[in-house]
Amino acid sequence: MGTVPLEEAQAKLAEIIEKLTPGEELIITQNDQPVAKLIAQPRSMRKPRQPGSAKDKLLIISDDEEHLDDFGEYMR
């Protein structure tokens, strides 16, 4: 766990965040007193969603209305 003065944190926030490893804590100080704690979160391993990525994954048979019979009382 390291510390950084508030003025430096304001000037270099993006750079400071980039250098933190997941779970690492950084204390931000003002007048040598702790005022905030910055904790790096784990980076997502998931790939960003892409439009159309689920295409052809679900088949809906439009002619099959038999499955709606169970919901008849809710559709009135």
**pTM to 2 decimal places:** 0.55
Is 33 within a domain?
Answer: yes
pLDDT of amino acid 64: 67
Q: Would the pLDDT of 66 be above 80?
A: no
CA distance 8 to 21: 19
pLDDT of amino acid 34: 96
Query: In CATH, what number is assigned to the domain containing residue 28?
Result: 3.40.1620.10
Range of the domain at 24: 1-43
For tokens 């993006």, name the residue.
14
Q: How many domains does the chain have?
A: 1
Strand 25-30 versus strand 33-39 pairing type:
antiparallel
pLDDT of amino acid 17: 92
**Which residue did the predictor score with more confidence, 41 or 73?**
41
Q: What is the pLDDT of residues 11-54, one digit of tens each?
A: 999 999 999 999 999 999 999 999 999 999 987 788 888 898 88
Q: Find the angle CA(64)-CA(68)-CA(69) to the nearest 5 degrees.
A: 110
CA distance 2 to 28: 9
